Homo-oligomer: A and B are copies of this chain.
Amino acid sequence: MDHVRVSPLLRARYSPLRFDQGHELADEQLEALLEAARWAPSAGNSQPWAFHPRRRGEEGHATLVEHLAGSSRLWAPDASALVVNLARREVDESGMPYSEFADYDLGQAVAHMTLQAQAMDLACRQFRAFDLDGLEEALGVRPGWHILTMTAVGVAAAAAPDGRERRSIVDLRTAGRSDA
């Protein structure tokens, strides 16, 4: 990324493996995270997303921790907050589609939240290592809605791992097509 000018906010972002267990997320910070997600673009302004944030020590945080897998339980409870990210794929139990872009648009909103965290000197790590069915039951997730991921938000207590890798730009521009 060194030879082109990518925005510092995007350039500095990474998903830390550890969080500072002493940091507390202020009300204004949580509100800014949600506000950033709220203004993400979506197909036909469908906004097919919902967020269930719980800060460390707050009521409901333990419920999220209980459903973590062994791997995420080693680090995610240290984060200042855990946010459950939900997409609305269907309208309700009829199965009628709500948005075919539900997952895509949720991804955009979570990216906005993540970059807002970065702008506040915080960091996010998204993960899927939790008991999805158990958590959907515990939270009473309604028909049509689906939990996709959780985001851990807080102060990074580990630097970006060495040797981060990505596919080349040439590969990004040619993959998936036979005319390339």
Contact = CB atoms under 8 A, between A and B. Distances in A.
A38 B86 contact: no
Q: How large is the interface on A (under 10, 10 to 19, 20 to 34, 35 or more residues)?
A: 35 or more
A10 B108 contact: no
A171 B7 CA distance: 31
A111 B110 CA distance: 9
B104 A149 contact: yes
What copy number does this chain have within its complex? 2
A157 interface: no
A76 interface: no
Contacts of A180: 52, 140
A115 B9 contact: yes
A5 B34 contact: no
Given A4-B31, A6-B36, A144-B176, 7 more contacts: A4-B32, A6-B119, A38-B167, A40-B111, A47-B166, A49-B172, A50-B176
